[in-house]
Amino acid sequence: MKFYSTGEVAKKLNISVRTLRYYDQIGLMTPSQKDNYGKRFYEDEDLLTLQKITILKMLNLSLSDIGKILSKITIEQLLHAHKKSLQQKREELNNSIKSTNTILNIIHMEGNLNWKQLIPLILAEQKKIDTDMKWNEYFDQQEQVILREKLPNMVTDNPKVRHWININRRVELCLKRGDTPDSIEAQIIAEEALELSKELFDGNEELGDKFFEIRKSPEKSRDLNLYPVKEEVLHFIDEATQFYLDRRNDT
């Protein structure tokens, strides 16, 4: 029987290691084997279960509800879930067509617009469509509601925004001094970042992990129109929090 490590499963199914750890912690998906050091090993049946979870999440079900129905769902029901996901993507395309029709109707109403008038309209509409479609690609509707409500907005005078900015600046100072992610200052920053994240994502660690993985990609961050943060800063925070969590789990 073949077994896969956590890293192999994460790469194979495009699921973060943190998400796999979280599934295990809440009892949603416990790997078939663990060694004496707590290292997780998955077999093919475990991978199938993880794929079922991914498909069920497309229905905007909570992890609690997924856990309740996971063992009862049939192949037919799973296909219906997949069909619903495809229908949502079709709806997104239909919305793009509607936006194009809107611009066409403006042209019909205003007459023949010149390029200087038309291009800004098209670019603005397309940017909105592209951003909305990317959000739908990366997050389900339930996750989007949480993120759009909770994410710090740079245009607002919000203490949470300033707190994140200060964390960013403190990390840059750590990098400038040559501090390592396991240094005392880095661990204080990690603890603060984890507490802020817990509040930001309503305690949904899986959503927090997913968002941070996207945040570490400059391309995906641009897709979602997120404020750019230096890659080295995000990498430092990631390593510092991993060290903090590992140390806390060992105690």
Q: What is the CATH number of the domain that holds 23?
A: 1.10.1660.10
In this structure, what token pair is assigned to residue 79?
A: 């296909």
Residue 156, domain member (yes or no): yes
- In this structure, the answer to whether residues 152 and 245 fall within a common structural domain is yes
Residue 76, domain member (yes or no): no
Measured on CA atoms in the order 153, 154, 156, 160, is the torsion positive or negative? positive
- 43, 69, 95: which is the final residue of a domain? 69
- In this structure, the answer to whether residues 197 and 153 fall within a common structural domain is yes
Residue 195, domain member (yes or no): yes
**Token pair 């789990």 is at which residue?**
249
Residue 75, domain member (yes or no): no
Residue 143, domain member (yes or no): no
Residue 186, domain member (yes or no): yes
Least reliable range by pLDDT among 77-86, 151-160, 208-217: 151-160
- In this structure, the answer to whether residues 63 and 87 fall within a common structural domain is no
Residues 109-132, mean pLDDT to the nearest whole number: 59
In this prediction, residue 25 carries a pLDDT of: 87
Asked if 74 and 67 count as a contact pair (C-beta separation under 8 A), the reply is: no
User: Is the pLDDT higher at 120 or at 4?
Assistant: 4
Q: How many CA atoms lie within 13 A of 223 on its CB side?
A: 16
Residues 90-117, mean pLDDT to the nearest whole number: 66
Residue 175, domain member (yes or no): yes
CA nearest 226: which of 151, 167, 129?
151
In this prediction, residue 118 carries a pLDDT of: 55
133 CB-near residues (< 8 Å, 6+ apart): 92, 96
Query: How many domains is the chain built from?
Result: 3
- In this structure, the answer to whether residues 189 and 236 fall within a common structural domain is yes
Q: Which domain holds residue 100?
A: 82-138
- 21, 43, 69: which is the final residue of a domain? 69
Q: Does the structure show a pLDDT above 70 at 219? A: yes
Ramachandran sector of residue 38 (left: φ over 0; alpha: ψ -120 to 50; beta: rest): left
In this prediction, residue 140 carries a pLDDT of: 77
In this prediction, residue 178 carries a pLDDT of: 94
Asked if 146 and 235 count as a contact pair (C-beta separation under 8 A), the reply is: no
Of the ranges 12-21, 76-85, 86-95, which is most confident? Answer: 12-21
In this prediction, residue 129 carries a pLDDT of: 55
Per-residue pLDDT band for 211 (boundaries 50, 70, 90) equals confident
Strands 40-42 and 4-5: antiparallel
Per-residue pLDDT band for 210 (boundaries 50, 70, 90) equals confident
